[in-house]
């Protein structure tokens, strides 16, 4: 094969790679299967691209700091799952699929960063496509979510089967969109885009009725909007009045949901304090308590079967064998840190801390925490992980990893980062 033909093939792979990459996000909220197929197809192309440019592409690992955390998380899940298969006949809850998806995400990021840095496809064009992809996805997801609510009057789920999963994904998308716009030079038009998308996202998040997201996402959006308002130290009364009135209308239109969830939370906490954990929050409190106990007993980690057996025995000894926590043991403990500690031990906790620290505080973008899109995305994931486990959710892995890379491509500036480094 001639050198000219090889170069032509490499360009074809690169173009096909980005074509498949930019459709992953818009499809994720309307057709999860199609999004998944595009994700894996993009990963295979990335693997082919790395294989044909291996030595040159190694530079991506030092340029983009988020690739290593993704690889380590993939290694953690895959190695633990393999060890469980080898040592236990009841290897429940293995994480080969999340491990595989984190590896594919790392490969996609690796190849995309190398292409971007080598200008195989014009970086300015890629940045525009990234912003367009996020914007189109936000519009599609918002319209589809509102349409779902009008049609069913139930909690919206988008293309997944859980309202909580839908809430995490939509919140991540919305926060990234706002932060990416903030990274650019702000005009009055862009400010109104930030205000409108932020307030619309709060409204849609409330339709999922996921308590943690309703609270954390609202605070994050308010923080970003206040940053935009006070950034130039010039307070314009018109956008401020627009925000106050719109936010008030959003809260008013969702007051029944807010009131219902608040009263439910208050009641569940009260019941737990009186020894009743047969509620959503009560089961979580019990799972967190017994999860910490199992970590103390097995600091190097253990199989899910072994951990759950200890938990059942412990609850039985407390005469709490009817606890609602038992319903969720074979799924997870509804806390990312405790779940990781109870299964993977100190090695898992170390990798999880490195994962979050790198993505939140040391992701390579000039824009500083917390107004950096990768930082705000990762911080929200960490906070949502206090009441759930989302890094092993196979749908969330796709959306989160694609948003990470899209944010990096949209906001990374070679000249600025070279000067800073």
The residue among 198 and 365 whose pLDDT is bigger is 198
pLDDT over 70 (residue 297): yes
**CA 403/CA 25 separation, integer angstroms:** 8
Summarize pLDDT for 195-214 with one digit per residue, the tens: 899 999 999 999 999 999 99
Summarize pLDDT for 29-48 with one digit per residue, the tens: 999 999 999 999 999 999 99
- The gap from C-alpha 214 to its chain's centroid, in whole angstroms, comes to 16
Q: What is the largest CA-CA distance in the chain?
A: 77
pLDDT over 80 (residue 237): no
> Which CA distances in Å does 55 have to 59, 111, 117, 253, 280?
8, 12, 14, 56, 51
pLDDT over 80 (residue 90): no
Which contacts of 287-290 are long-range, i.e. CB under 8 A and separated by 24 or more positions?
287/325, 287/328, 287/329, 287/333, 287/334, 287/335, 287/338, 288/333, 288/334, 288/335, 288/338, 290/314, 290/315, 290/325
The H or E element containing residue 50 is helix 32-52
- Number of continuous H segments (helices) and E segments (strands) in the chain: 18, 0
Mean of the pLDDT values across residues 131-149? 95
Task: Work out the pLDDT band at 175, boundaries 50, 70, 90.
Answer: very high
pLDDT over 70 (residue 238): no
Task: Work out the pLDDT band at 217, boundaries 50, 70, 90.
Answer: very high
**CA 297/CA 22 separation, integer angstroms:** 46
Instruction: Choose from 231-235, 251-255, 352-356 the range with maximum mean pLDDT.
Output: 352-356
Mean of the pLDDT values across residues 4-13? 79
**CA 107/CA 371 separation, integer angstroms:** 26
Mean of the pLDDT values across residues 144-173? 92
- Residue 233 backbone phi and psi in degrees, to 5: 60, 25
Q: Which residues contact 136 (CB under 8 A, 6 or more apart)?
A: 26
pLDDT over 50 (residue 416): no
Task: Work out the pLDDT band at 226, boundaries 50, 70, 90.
Answer: confident
Confidence at residue 317, expressed as pLDDT on a 0 to 100 scale: 86
Confidence at residue 418, expressed as pLDDT on a 0 to 100 scale: 39
**CA 29/CA 196 separation, integer angstroms:** 20
**CA 101/CA 103 separation, integer angstroms:** 5
Length of the chain: 421
Cβ–Cβ under 8 Å, residues 115 and 9: no
Mean of the pLDDT values across residues 253-262? 82
Mean of the pLDDT values across residues 125-134? 92
Confidence at residue 233, expressed as pLDDT on a 0 to 100 scale: 63
Alpha helix (H) ranges present in 88-122?
A: 96-118
**CA 237/CA 243 separation, integer angstroms:** 10
Please state which of the ranges 78-82, 204-208, 226-230 shows the lowest mean pLDDT: 226-230
pLDDT over 90 (residue 186): no
Percent of the chain at pLDDT above 90? 56
Confidence at residue 35, expressed as pLDDT on a 0 to 100 scale: 96
Summarize pLDDT for 144-158 with one digit per residue, the tens: 999 999 998 789 999
Confidence at residue 419, expressed as pLDDT on a 0 to 100 scale: 32
Strand residue runs (E) in 255-367: none
Confidence at residue 256, expressed as pLDDT on a 0 to 100 scale: 83
Mean of the pLDDT values across residues 265-270? 88
Of 129, 177, 141, 210, residue with least CA distance to 377: 177
Task: Work out the pLDDT band at 421, boundaries 50, 70, 90.
Answer: very low
Of 207, 215, 181, residue with least CA distance to 196: 181
């Amino acid at each position: 094969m001639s050198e000219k033909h090889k170069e032509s093939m490499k360009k074809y792979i690169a173009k096909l790679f980005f074509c498949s990459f930019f459709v992953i996000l818009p499809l994720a909220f309307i057709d999860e299967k199609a999004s998944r197929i595009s994700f894996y197809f993009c990963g295979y192309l990335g693997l082919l691209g790395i294989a044909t440019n291996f030595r040159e592409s190694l530079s991506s690992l030092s340029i983009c700091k988020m690739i290593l955390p993704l690889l380590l998380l993939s290694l953690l899940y895959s190695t633990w799952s393999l060890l469980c298969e080898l040592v236990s006949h009841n290897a429940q809850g293995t994480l080969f699929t999340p491990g595989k998806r984190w590896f594919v995400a790392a490969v996609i990021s690796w190849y995309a960063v190398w292409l971007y840095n080598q200008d195989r496809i014009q970086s300015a064009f890629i940045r525009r496509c990234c912003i367009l992809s996020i914007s189109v996805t936000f519009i599609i997801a918002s319209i589809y979510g509102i349409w779902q609510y009008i049609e069913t009057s139930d909690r919206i789920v988008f293309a997944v089967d859980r309202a909580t999963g839908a809430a995490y994904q939509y919140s991540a998308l919305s926060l990234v969109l706002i932060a990416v716009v903030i990274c650019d030079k702000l005009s009055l038009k862009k400010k109104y885009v930030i205000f409108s998308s932020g307030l619309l996202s709060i409204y849609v998040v409330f339709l999922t009725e996921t308590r943690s997201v309703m609270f954390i996402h609202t605070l994050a959006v308010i923080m970003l909007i206040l940053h935009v308002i006070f950034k130039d130290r010039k307070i314009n009364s018109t956008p401020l009045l627009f925000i106050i009135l719109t936010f008030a209308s959003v809260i008013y239109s969702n007051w029944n949901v807010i009131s219902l969830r608040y009263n439910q939370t208050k009641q569940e906490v009260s019941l737990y304090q009186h020894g009743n954990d047969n509620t959503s929050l009560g089961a979580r409190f019990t799972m967190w308590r017994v999860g910490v106990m199992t970590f103390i007993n097995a600091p190097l980690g253990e199989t899910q079967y072994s951990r759950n057996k200890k938990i059942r025995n412990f609850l039985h000894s407390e005469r709490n064998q009817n606890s609602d926590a038992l319903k969720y043991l074979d799924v997870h403990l509804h806390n990312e840190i405790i779940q990781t500690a109870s299964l993977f031990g100190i090695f898992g906790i170390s990798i999880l801390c490195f994962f979050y620290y790198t993505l939140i505080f040391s992701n390579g973008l000039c824009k500083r925490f917390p107004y950096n899109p990768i930082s705000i995305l990762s911080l929200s994931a960490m906070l949502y992980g206090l009441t759930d486990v989302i890094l092993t959710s196979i749908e969330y892995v796709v959306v989160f990893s694609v948003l990470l890379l899209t944010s990096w491509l949209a906001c990374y500036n070679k000249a600025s980062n070279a000067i800073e480094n």
